[in-house]
Amino acid sequence: RKKRAEAEQTAAQTEAQLEALRSAGQKVAATLQFDERTTRRRLIDQMLVETGWDVGVGGTNTEQVKQEVRVSEHPTPSGEGYADYVLYGDDGKPLAVVEAKKTAKDPKLGAEQARIYAMCLEKETGRRPVIFFTNGIDVFLWDDAQGYPWRKVYGLYSKDSLEYLIHQRTNKKALAHVEPNLAIAERLYQLEAVKRIAERFEGKSRKALVVQATGTGKTRVAVSLCDLLMRAGWVKRILFLCDRRELRRQADRVFKEFMPGEPRVVVGSSTSSDRDKRIYLATYPAMMKCFEAFDVGFFDLIVADESHRSIYKTFRSLFQYFDALEVGLTATPVKFIERNTYKLFGCEEKDPTAHYS
């Protein structure tokens, strides 16, 4: 209990720090009112550097990041336009376009402009880049090639994360055409839960909540879902969160038994430099200590075990930071779950994605 209290205190402090940073950012927008050029140099360039991009000094171009990129077939009288930033992969093709606005402007005002640049780059290179628009404080991602509406994210993606997002476009399979592995979960209610989550994700929702009584195999359902999404090409890296080390060890055993070929790691103090695994298992307190060492797009799926107890208040920062598909697991009866738990996982009150009492 003492260790948990300490962990919750640390998490609460981290959440307070994040809130302070958000408030500070809003104050910057309100008081300094950087123009677009200053916003790019002081805020957006720094964002890119922190995410591992090679940014040229003073706006100069590099192989990875080019600024003021001329595009043709633009719907202007001259037929030309200039994208603020284009981020490139190792193959020389664009991975993302970033539209910048000054801090005092709503970044969503740049959404349509960024979409047009993406369309022009697609005509020129054969690849439609992922779209970002930002005022240096708020960042939005628009993966329109996969049919998602734009969404607010905590920061820009790394090159590796963008490459996988592009890879998904042609390699994802329809989840209805991929059968669950019956060796992992075979009971009808378990298969029903996996099916319901898959249907929700196919419908472009990015969150799901499973309520399943203790002893009925929540971990089996989660591992079966992870296996299905990996085989379907929907996810590459998974974060499995637990609120106790015993639950983490249990999940580790199930992953080891049924997904032995997928490299996995238990998150600890040195995990921030471990980037070649597929499955990351962590307690909430352990992940709170190192989550900012990963870029916001590093994980494709987050599974939150005992989600009703841990993530609404104390550890919510993890879900605000990472831009991933999210699945909450809980054994708590529907009527005892907090309203905000449903909201956090995109469900109506007392109507989870899957329920087995």
Residue-wise pLDDT for 191-226, tens only, equals: 999 999 999 999 999 999 999 999 999 999 999 999
At 118-128, the pLDDT tens digits run 999 999 999 99
Q: What's the one-letter identity of residue 38?
A: T
DSSP helix/strand/coil, 83:
strand
- Sign of the four-CA dihedral 309, 314, 319, 320: positive
SS3 (DSSP) at 194: helix
Pairing of the two strands 301-304 and 264-266: unpaired
The CA–CA distances, whole Å, from 337 to 20, 73, 139, 222 equal 29, 53, 31, 20
Distance, CA of 106 to CA of 273 (rounded, Å)? 35
Beta bridge partners of 65: 87
336 has a pLDDT exceeding 70: yes
> Residue 321 — φ and ψ, nearest 5°?
-80, -50
pLDDT tens readout for residues 127-153: 999 999 999 999 999 999 999 999 999
For residue 23, give both structure tokens.
Answer: 């408030």
Structural contact between residues 297 and 323, judged by C-beta atoms closer than 8 angstroms: yes
Looking up tokens 């070649």 gives 276
Q: Which residue has the higher pLDDT, 309 or 86?
A: 86
Q: What is the pLDDT of residue 79?
A: 80
Residues in the chain: 357
Nearest Cα residue to 299 out of 224, 235, 232, 210: 235
Q: Rounded CA gap, 275 and 295, in Å?
A: 11
**pTM, 2 dp:** 0.88
At residue 1, does pLDDT exceed 80? no
Query: Counting beta carbons within 10 angstroms of the beta carbon of residue 2, is it exposed (0 to 12), middle (13 to 18) or buried (19 or more)?
Result: exposed
What are the pLDDT digits (tens) for 42-90? Answer: 999 999 999 999 999 988 999 999 999 999 888 877 788 999 999 999 9
What pLDDT does residue 274 have? 79
Direct distance between the N- and C-terminal alpha carbons of the chain, in angstroms, rounded to an integer: 28
> What value does the CA radius of gyration of the chain take, rounded to a whole number of Å?
21
